[in-house]
């Protein structure tokens, strides 16, 4: 038994109550200072799959470095990624620059003002196009994100699986009926604000002002919405990492491939191994009574069998373990230390001293390895 579509009177009443609440309670966020499409665009891209608290600092830094579309269009990729470092989903940053160039070339440097043209920009999908169109240009377009789907599914008792692409149109149809023609941007932001602060995933019920509009509250079923299939758990992948140093105290870094995970970012050399091999190696340094890796144990017969073709002298001791979870993968990494000549240059490699690491774009997992290495590596140790 699902709730029917609201009549005109209820829609009017909802708009009034929602917008009143929003104007009273909205958070003061830097990108809400004005409705400049460039600012709205950058903030919306940063906010994809990312929390407001995380985004704020990145947003300020980004606007400082790239204040206009033109600055972004001519940005150096390395500098752009450095500003984005740690935010994740790095194709978002690369697509921003591509889109900035599209705006320069196809739209004469002016941010496009129709949904179709906004949608044509690289990295802008239905959600972001709707957000920019409504907030910056006052167009009555829905902006359907995870928050909005949760809120609307509770208000209307939507039982279709929101993880299915085909369900999108249900939300689109409802929102096109209830969106304010006078203030579509505020209406969209108000719905997201409700999702972020009031009708949160764990919220048992809506506040009183919203309850008259909420199917889930009326049926004491907040936790039943939204309906969503579970995601598969990340697949385990096992690596050995080599921290390799030369006589000049530089470290060997490899640039990751052009495409795919962490594309073009720098990393210590990694070698994938089977889970069996990984566990065997790890077991060798394990102390059974404590169930911990014994970092001080030197294993004379168990030099790391990594990068076997490489002219590296490996220390017969490893430096601990790092794990890192991506949305679809879980990396397990055992760290080893070795030395090589500085004229050794594998594919896509560079030697760089640690004091210059701040200028290199590292993904989080590489930063974790550096940290673990510092915790366990003792300077001047024999190999």
Partner DNA sequence: AAGACGGGGCT
Partner DNA sequence: AGCCCAGTCTT
Interacting residues toward DNA by CB under 7 A: 29, 32, 43-44, 47-54, 86-91, 95, 122-129, 131, 145-147, 150, 164-166, 189, 192-193, 195-196, 201-202, 228, 230-233, 259-263, 324-329, 363-365
Reading the block at residue 41, the tokens are 């665009």
CB 128 within 8 A of CB 140: no
Token digits of residue 346: 């594998």
300 catalytically annotated: no
Find the shortest distance in angstroms from Cβ 246 to DNA: 27
**Residue 22: CB atoms within 10 Å:** 18
* Distance in angstroms (rounded) separating the CA atoms of residues 176 and 154: 17
Closest contact distance (angstroms) between CB of 82 and DNA is: 12
Residue closer to DNA, measured from CB, 146 or 320: 146
Minimum gap (Å) between residue 367 Cβ and DNA:
8
Say which DSSP state 190 is in.
Answer: H
Query: Minimum Å distance from CB 74 to DNA?
Result: 21
Which one of 8, 44, 77, 272 is the catalytic residue? 44
Nearest CB to DNA, comparing residues 106 and 378: 106
The nearer residue to DNA, 241 or 312, going by C-beta atoms, is 241
How far apart CA 72 and CA 157 sit, in angstroms, is 43
C-beta closer to DNA: residue 4 or 230: 230
Q: Which is nearer to DNA, 316 or 364 (CB)?
A: 364
Contact 241, 334 (CB under 8 A): yes
From 26, 78, 36, select the one nearest 59 (Cα to Cα): 36
* Residue 97 in tokens: 């620059």
Other C-beta atoms closer than 10 Å to the C-beta of 337 total 23
C-beta atoms surrounding 40 within 10 Å: 23
Which are the catalytic amino acids?
A: 44
């Amino acid at each position: 038994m699902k709730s029917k579509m609201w009549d005109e009177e209820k829609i009017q009443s909802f708009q009034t109550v929602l917008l009143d609440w929003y104007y009273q309670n909205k958070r003061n966020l830097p990108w809400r200072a004005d409705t400049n499409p460039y600012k709205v665009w950058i903030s919306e891209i940063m906010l994809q799959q990312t929390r407001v608290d995380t985004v704020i600092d990145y947003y300020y830094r980004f606007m400082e470095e790239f204040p206009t579309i033109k600055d972004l269009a001519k940005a150096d990729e390395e500098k752009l990624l450095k500003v984005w470092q740690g935010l994740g989903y790095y194709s978002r940053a690369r697509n921003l620059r591509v889109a900035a160039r599209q705006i320069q070339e196809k739209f004469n440097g002016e941010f496009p003002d129709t949904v179709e043209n906004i949608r044509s920009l690289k990295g802008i999908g239905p959600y972001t196009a709707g957000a920019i169109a409504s907030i910056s240009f006052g167009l009555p377009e829905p902006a359907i994100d995870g928050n909005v789907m949760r809120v609307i599914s509770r208000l209307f008792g939507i039982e279709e699986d929101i993880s299915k692409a085909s369900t999108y149109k249900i939300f689109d149809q409802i929102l096109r009926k209830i969106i304010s023609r006078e203030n579509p941007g505020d209406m969209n932001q108000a719905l997201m604000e409700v999702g972020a602060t009031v009708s949160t995933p764990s919220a048992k019920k809506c506040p009183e002002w919203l309850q008259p509009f909420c199917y889930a509250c009326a049926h004491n079923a907040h936790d039943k919405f939204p309906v969503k299939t579970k995601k598969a758990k990340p697949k385990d992948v096992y690596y050995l990492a080599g921290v390799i140093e030369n006589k000049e105290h530089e470290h060997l870094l490899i640039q990751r491939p052009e495409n795919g995970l962490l594309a073009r970012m720098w990393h210590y050399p990694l070698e994938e191994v089977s889970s069996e091999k990984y566990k065997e190696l790890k077991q060798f340094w394990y102390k059974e009574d404590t169930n911990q890796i014994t970092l001080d144990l030197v294993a004379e017969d168990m030099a790391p069998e990594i990068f076997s073709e490489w002219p590296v002298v490996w220390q017969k001791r490893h430096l601990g373990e790092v794990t890192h979870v991506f949305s679809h993968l879980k990396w397990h990494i055992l760290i080893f230390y070795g030395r090589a000549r500085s004229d050794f240059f594998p594919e896509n490699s560079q030697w760089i001293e640690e004091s210059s690491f701040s200028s290199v774009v590292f993904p989080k997992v590489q930063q974790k390895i550096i940290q673990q290495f510092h915790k366990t590596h003792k300077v001047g140790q024999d190999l």
